[in-house]
Chains A and B, each alone.
Chain A
Amino acid sequence: MYRTHNCGELRITDIGKKVTISGWVQKGRDLGGLTFVDVRDRYGITQLVFNMDENTELCIQARKLGREFVIQATGLVKERSSKNRNRPTGEVEVEVSELNILNESKVPPFTIEDDTDGGDDIRMKYRYLDIRRSPVQSNIIFRSKLALETRKYLDSQGFLEVETPFLIKSTPEGARDFVVPSRLNQGQFYALPQSPQTFKQILMVAGIDKYFQIVKCFRDEDLRADRQPEFTQIDCEMSFVHIEDILNTFEGLTRHLFNATLGLELGDFPRMTYDEALRLYGSDKPDLRFGMSFTEINDLAKGNGFSVFDDAELVVGICAKGISEKYSNKDMKDLTEWLQRPQIGAKGLVYIKYQEDGSIKSTIGKFYSDEELMIWAEKLGAEKGDVIFILSGELEQTRKQLSELRLELGKRLELIKAGDFKPLWVLDFPLLEWDDDAGRFHAMHHPFTSPKKEDILRMLNGDHETMKSLKADAYDMVINGVEIGGEVSNS
Chain B
Amino acid sequence: MQSKNFDLLGFSIEEAEAQFGFLLGAFEYGAPPHGGLAFGFDRLCAVMNGQSSIRDFIAFPKNNQGRDMMIDAPSPIHKDQLKELYLDIRMEKK
Min CB–CB distance B15 → chain A (angstroms): 8
Whether B85 contacts A448 by the Cβ 8 Å rule is no
Whether B1 contacts A250 by the Cβ 8 Å rule is no
Whether A226 contacts B52 by the Cβ 8 Å rule is yes
Min CB–CB distance B83 → chain A (angstroms): 10
Whether A485 contacts B38 by the Cβ 8 Å rule is yes
Residue of B nearest to A441 (CB): B8
Contact with A along B5-44 (1 / 0, CB 8 A): 1101111000000011011001101111111111111111
Chain B: interface residue total (CB-CB under 8 A):
59
Kindly identify, within residues 180 to 196 of chain A, every residue whose CB is under 8 Å from any CB belonging to chain B. Answer: 181-183, 186-187, 195
Whether A201 contacts B34 by the Cβ 8 Å rule is yes
Min CB–CB distance B28 → chain A (angstroms): 9
Whether B39 contacts A477 by the Cβ 8 Å rule is yes
Set A139, A201, A223, A438: member contacting B49, Cβ < 8 A: A139
Residue of A nearest to B29 (CB): A205
Whether A237 contacts B35 by the Cβ 8 Å rule is yes
Whether A127 contacts B60 by the Cβ 8 Å rule is yes
Whether A238 contacts B34 by the Cβ 8 Å rule is yes
**For the complex, is A368 an interface residue (Cβ under 8 Å from B)?**
no
The docked-state distance in angstroms from the alpha carbon of A237 to that of B61 is 28
Whether B70 contacts A126 by the Cβ 8 Å rule is yes
Q: A198-B20, A231-B42 are in contact. Are A486 and B57 (CB under 8 A)?
A: no
Whether B48 contacts A258 by the Cβ 8 Å rule is yes
Q: Which residues of A contact B56 (CB under 8 A)?
A: 135-136, 139
**For the complex, is A372 an interface residue (Cβ under 8 Å from B)?**
no
**For the complex, is B64 an interface residue (Cβ under 8 Å from A)?**
yes
Min CB–CB distance A108 → chain B (angstroms): 14
Whether B47 contacts A171 by the Cβ 8 Å rule is no
Q: A143-B45, A473-B35 are in contact. Are A223 and B65 (CB under 8 A)?
A: yes
Min CB–CB distance A355 → chain B (angstroms): 36
**For the complex, is A300 an interface residue (Cβ under 8 Å from B)?**
no
Contact with A along B48-78 (1 / 0, CB 8 A): 1110111111111111111011100000000
Min CB–CB distance B74 → chain A (angstroms): 10
Whether B33 contacts A261 by the Cβ 8 Å rule is no
**For the complex, is A125 an interface residue (Cβ under 8 Å from B)?**
yes
Q: Which residues of A contact B69 (CB under 8 A)?
A: 121, 124-125, 127
Set A142, A205, A228: member contacting B26, Cβ < 8 A: A205
Whether B70 contacts A231 by the Cβ 8 Å rule is no
**For the complex, is A484 an interface residue (Cβ under 8 Å from B)?**
yes
Q: A226-B54, A441-B10, A484-B40 are in contact. Are A201 and B63 (CB under 8 A)?
A: no
Set B19, B35, B46, B62: member contacting A491, Cβ < 8 A: B35
Q: A143-B57, A233-B40 are in contact. Are A489 and B45 (CB under 8 A)?
A: no
Q: Which residues of A contact B6 (CB under 8 A)?
A: 447
Whether B84 contacts A231 by the Cβ 8 Å rule is no
Residue of A nearest to B32 (CB): A239
Whether B35 contacts A440 by the Cβ 8 Å rule is no
**For the complex, is B87 an interface residue (Cβ under 8 Å from A)?**
yes
The docked-state distance in angstroms from the alpha carbon of A250 to that of B44 is 13
**For the complex, is B4 an interface residue (Cβ under 8 Å from A)?**
yes
Contact with B along A102-136 (1 / 0, CB 8 A): 00000000000000000011001111100100011
Set A121, A186, A226: member contacting B55, Cβ < 8 A: A226
Set B20, B30, B52, B64: member contacting A447, Cβ < 8 A: B20
Q: Which residues of A contact B68 (CB under 8 A)?
A: 124
Whether B35 contacts A488 by the Cβ 8 Å rule is yes
Q: Which residues of B contact A139 (CB under 8 A)?
A: 45, 49, 56-57
Q: Which residues of A contact B36 (CB under 8 A)?
A: 200, 211, 235-238, 246, 487-488
The docked-state distance in angstroms from the alpha carbon of A205 to that of B87 is 38
**For the complex, is A375 an interface residue (Cβ under 8 Å from B)?**
no
The docked-state distance in angstroms from the alpha carbon of A187 to that of B62 is 29
The docked-state distance in angstroms from the alpha carbon of A485 to that of B1 is 26
Min CB–CB distance A348 → chain B (angstroms): 29
Among B41, B47, B58, the one with the most A-chain Cβ atoms within 10 Å of its Cβ is B41
Q: Which residues of A contact B23 (CB under 8 A)?
A: 198, 201-202, 448
The docked-state distance in angstroms from the alpha carbon of A485 to that of B53 is 17
Q: Which residues of B contact A456 (CB under 8 A)?
A: 1
Q: Which residues of B contact A183 (CB under 8 A)?
A: 84-85
Q: Which residues of B contact A211 (CB under 8 A)?
A: 36
Q: Which residues of B contact A169 (CB under 8 A)?
A: 19
Min CB–CB distance A291 → chain B (angstroms): 20
Q: Which residues of B contact A228 (CB under 8 A)?
A: 42, 54-55, 58, 61-62
12 A–B contact pairs at CB < 8 A?
Answer: A124-B61, A125-B69, A125-B70, A181-B85, A201-B23, A204-B32, A211-B36, A234-B41, A235-B36, A237-B34, A238-B34, A450-B1
Top 7 nearest A-B pairs by Cβ distance? Answer: A489-B35, A237-B36, A487-B37, A485-B39, A124-B69, A440-B10, A204-B34
Chain B positions near chain A (C-beta within 8 angstroms): 1-2, 4-6, 8-11, 19-20, 22-23, 26-27, 29-50, 52-66, 68-70, 84-87
- Given A124-B68, A127-B60, A487-B38, output 7 extra A-B contacts at Cβ < 8 Å: A139-B57, A146-B45, A181-B87, A205-B26, A228-B62, A477-B37, A487-B37
